[in-house]
Amino acid sequence: MAGAAPTAEDRGAQRTDAVRALLAMEESYVKELRLLEKLYIVPLSMVADSPRGAIFDRADVETIFSNICELLEHHQLYLDELGRALRSDGAESGVAALANFTRQCSPCYTAYFDNYRAACDKLDVIAAAAEGSPSKWCCLGTKPNPAAVQKVRYMDTYRNHPDVREGHPEGTSLRAFLQMPIDHAARVRAQAEMIIRFTNEDDPELADLRHVEAAFAAIIRSLPHEDQVRSQNEVDGPTKKLL
């Protein structure tokens, strides 16, 4: 015997739970982006123009990290707005905050996704240079590039930083950090779809929810297929794991 159809009250509660799940997602994501900023972007940017102290030059920093700091700023504002909405005792649902965030941040995500392949390619170049190209004919091989080796060592050190291990007991790589905005965009889209399922057709917020889902779907489609399905824990090889 089929179970009873969910009541309007049940659907409302499910929708509220789905919106509240967005808050938990944002809190976790903002924490990760702040960690990326603290361990990589800020210290590497500070010395990027130093003739002797630079680990990555300015071009490397801009290619690898793209506009992550701008994404972080948008997400922090959204997190604050969403938190206020969900503390309003039902006066606000949180959907307006999500819709406003999507309108403001979609161009930033598009820019990040457009640059993502270049960032990964840069890490590949560093990994290859750090390994060198051994050959049975010594004159044909290339030695590991000292600057690239230094970059790999920096990444290896910070993948196991105590702050990283709080959320990732086995550590995590820079490549995995760079994948996080892609994973998060997919989660936001999925959560918007879930909220839509619990929203009545005559709800005035339905149009905003559909806009959010469509916007993030379009952003995700802008990636090459292999990047859309890339696992955050993918193992690319012994040296790439350090990156």
Pair 88, 205: CB distance under 8 Å? no
Distance separating alpha carbons of residues 200 and 14, to the nearest angstrom: 12
Pair 64, 56: CB distance under 8 Å? yes
pLDDT in tens, 176-197: 999 999 999 999 999 999 999 9
Residue position matching structure tokens 């080796």: 149
- For the whole model, what pTM was predicted? 0.86
pLDDT (0 to 100) of residue 11? 82
pLDDT (0 to 100) of residue 70? 97
Pair 203, 116: CB distance under 8 Å? no
Distance separating alpha carbons of residues 156 and 160, to the nearest angstrom: 7
Task: Report H helices in the chain.
Answer: 8-36, 42-46, 58-65, 68-86, 95-131, 146-159, 162-167, 174-197, 206-221, 225-228
pLDDT (0 to 100) of residue 117? 94
HSE toward the beta carbon, residue 227, CA cutoff 13 A: 24
Q: Which backbone phi and psi does 2 adopt, to 5 degrees?
A: -70, 145
pLDDT (0 to 100) of residue 235? 32
Distance separating alpha carbons of residues 56 and 151, to the nearest angstrom: 7
Distance separating alpha carbons of residues 242 and 236, to the nearest angstrom: 10
Distance separating alpha carbons of residues 206 and 195, to the nearest angstrom: 9
**Residue 228: Cβ within 10 Å count:** 13
pLDDT in tens, 129-177: 998 866 555 555 678 899 999 999 999 999 999 999 999 988 899 999 9
Pair 98, 212: CB distance under 8 Å? yes
pLDDT (0 to 100) of residue 229? 55
pLDDT (0 to 100) of residue 233? 39
**Ranges in the chain, pLDDT < 50:** 1, 231-242
AA identity, residue 163: D
Cα-based distances in Å from 156 to 32, 136, 161, 165, 221: 18, 29, 9, 13, 32
Cα-based distances in Å from 105 to 4, 101, 147, 181: 40, 6, 35, 12
